[in-house]
């Protein structure tokens, strides 16, 4: 049988318990506020939706014209607005478009950062898409991180492994 440490059963004094409860309550409140997406003011939501639509449209136009850096910036703004508005699907799409723009612009630090955010969406949704998984792997190489465990097309796997080994 496992023995407990002699002090394991000692509880703080009643005032110490109140202090601990207060500290844990404050910590829980701080964490919930930090993790919650900021809510826009009630009358401001329609203006934010219009900003979101404009950012997406501008990003698409810049992408089509080959201005990938500016497109990446606009898609990043769109993703941030979609998060504020509580639209995770739009935020994920904007983030994937941003990562693609950074890849085509050959901006490796931005690609590495962007794919970390995109991976959060993929893990949250528990989705698997070979194209997105390849983009995540390219971002991991760009950010000098280990390759993610997501399934990638077999034709790409060896190339990415070799590239990752070369980059280290």
From the CB of residue 42, how many other CB atoms can be counted at a distance below 10 Å?
7
Q: Can you list the alpha helix ranges (DSSP code H) found in 36-129?
A: 45-64, 68-84, 88-105, 108-125
Range of the domain at 127: 44-167
Query: Residue 111 domain-assigned?
Result: yes
Helix (H) or strand (E) holding 139: helix 130-142
| More confidently predicted of 51 and 16 | 51
- pTM of full prediction above 0.85: no
Residue 23 lies in a domain: no
Number of C-beta neighbours around residue 6 at 10 A: 7
Higher pLDDT, 149 or 52: 52
Judge whether 120 lies within some domain.
Answer: yes
pLDDT at 73: 96
Q: Quick check: is 141 in a domain?
A: yes
In a domain, 19, yes or no: no
| pLDDT tens track for 127-167 | 777 777 777 777 877 777 776 666 666 666 666 667 666 66
Contact 117, 95 (CB under 8 A): yes
CA 168 remoteness from chain centre: 24
Question: Is residue 73, in this structure, part of any structural domain at all?
Answer: yes
What CATH code is carried by the domain that includes residue 117?
A: 1.25.40.10
More confident residue, 134 or 4: 134
Please check whether residue 20 lies inside any domain of the structure.
no
For the chain, how many structural domains are there in total? Answer: 1
């Amino acid at each position: 049988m496992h023995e407990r440490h002699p002090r394991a059963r000692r509880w703080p004094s009643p005032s110490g318990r109140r202090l601990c409860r207060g500290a844990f309550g404050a910590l829980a409140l701080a964490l919930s506020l930090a993790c919650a997406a900021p809510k826009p003011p009630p009358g401001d939501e329609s203006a934010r939706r219009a900003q979101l639509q404009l950012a997406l449209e501008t990003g698409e136009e810049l992408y089509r014209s080959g201005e990938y850096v500016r497109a990446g910036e606009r898609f990043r703004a769109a993703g941030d607005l979609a998060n504020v508005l509580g639209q995770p699907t739009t935020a994920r799409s904007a983030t994937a478009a941003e990562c693609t723009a950074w890849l085509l612009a050959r901006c490796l630090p931005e690609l590495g950062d962007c794919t970390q955010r995109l991976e959060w969406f993929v893990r949250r949704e528990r989705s698997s898409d070979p194209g997105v998984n390849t983009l995540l792997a390219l971002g991991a190489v760009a950010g000098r991180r280990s390759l993610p465990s997501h399934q990638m097309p077999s034709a790409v796997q060896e190339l990415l492994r070799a590239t990752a080994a070369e980059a280290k």
